[in-house]
Structure 1
Amino acid sequence: MSDDRNGANEANGTDERENDGQRFDRLPATADERVVAGRPTREEVVEWWAERYGVPPETWDGHTFWEKGKGKIWAFAGDLVSPNPVEGLGLRILRARQEHWKPSTNAVQRFCGEATKNVVFLDGEEADRFVRGEDQELERWDGDWGYLVAAHEFEGARESIGVGLYLHGELRSTVPKGRQEDLS
């Protein structure tokens, strides 16, 4: 099998220049290397995390980025041949290919410890409501609207607890139902 990252598979004569939701395809490094229309690049993903949340670009050193499905972006701390038909690979970090990209809860908890932008700090009661999946009025936020990193202080250290959607003075919890919990 040819490993031209996103191109034709010479071994079986198929053209892999379109998105196949059943396999992982490595993101191209830059737009100049893109062969699948609409597929984000590694450069765009790293830049988005830096611009939106202030996550340092070096956070992603040592990780390869992959797409499976339409816009589901995964980070893998390693390298493999692309395309790859495995069922799971690394950690899903982002949903792209839509107007507003959405970070995953896992990515925020794992990679946003050093985030400096669009981080809303929640007090004890607010954090408890957030992780239970409850939406809440939060008029004090004066930053950007859209997807925010929700953070709370645990034992003197800031922890990213999830992704919230802030619109019209309301913080909507996007904590998945299976991950909701009671902090009290």
Structure 2
Amino acid sequence: MSDGDGAPGNDGGQFDRLPATSEDREVPGRATREEVLDWWDDRFGIPPETFDDYSFWEKGKGKIWCFRGEAPDPVDVEGLGMTFLRTRQEHWKPATNAVQRFGRGASKNVVELSGEPASRFARGEDQEHDWDGDWGYVIAAHDLAGDLEPMGVGLYVYGELRSTVPKGRQEDLPEL
């Protein structure tokens, strides 16, 4: 597929492996493995080696998937692994699945919630929240049996924590 000026283009009907570095990039605007790993490290402090056994794929425009193992490139399937990250927009957004799977390794931009705030977040409600961390996408987490467990992705701006828990995954839980 071409983007009209002869450069390879994005084919939304197939998964294409992310190039390792910007020098390897053939499709303009496509994120690289290096950029993805740097983003998770910079934003959440999750070390790049966490993802050593995973390959990263783009399907559509900026929807990055994570797959443990290898597959032919390109591959024409409906799903490959799990949704991981949205790129090709002003602010990259981690997927709920990715945060729940890899968020335990985060060392920054984690908002700890307990009691009613945790329950409200799980229901998909936005709420005022006093936090002195960075604005932007955060990992909302809750202490569960002595371990901090990621609940999902939040967006923290102007003293408000906005829940981005997908509607189909929102839960009406008792006070956590």
TM-score normalised by L of structure 1: 0.90
**Offset of 1:155 from its aligned partner?**
1.2
- Map 1:130-145 → 2, pairs under 5 A: 130-138=121-129, 140-145=130-135
- Is the counterpart of residue 101 in structure 1 residue 129 in structure 2? no
Identity of aligned residues (%): 65
| CA RMSD, Structure 1 to Structure 2 (Å) | 1.4
Question: Equivalent of 1:71, from 57, 62, 65?
Answer: 62
Contact 1:124 1:152 in 2 (8 A): no
The secondary structure found in structure 2 opposite 1:162 is strand
2:139–2:150 CA contact under 8 A, matched in 1: yes
Unaligned stretches of 5+ in structure 2? none
Residues 41-68 of structure 1 show CA distances to partners (whole Å, capped at 9, x for unaligned) of 0000001000000011111011000000
In structure 2, what is the Cα distance between the partners aligned to 1:159 and 1:45?
23
Once the 2 structures are TM-superposed, how far is the Cα of residue 182 of structure 1 from its aligned partner?
A: 1.9
**Contact 2:135 2:157 (C-alpha < 8 Å) held by counterparts:** yes
Other structure's SS at 1:74 match: strand
8 Å Cα contact 2:7-2:26 kept in structure 1: no
State how far apart, in whole Å, the 2-side matches of 1:161 and 1:178 are: 14
Aligned positions, number: 171
- The CA deviation at 1:16 is 8.4
Confirm whether residue 152 of structure 1 aligns to residue 142 of structure 2: yes
Whether 1:181 aligns to 2:171 is yes
The 5-angstrom pairing of residues 29-40 of structure 1 reads 29-40=20-31
Match of 2:48 among 46, 53, 57: 57
Larger Rg: 1
- Return the alpha-carbon distance in structure 2 between the equivalents of residues 16 and 175 of structure 1: 37
Give me the whole-angstrom Cα distance separating, in 1, the residues matched to 2:146 and 2:7: 50
Q: Distance in 2 between matches of 1:68 and 1:105?
A: 17
Partner of 1:170: 160
> What SS class does the counterpart of residue 65 from structure 1 fall into?
strand
Letter in 1 for 2:66: A
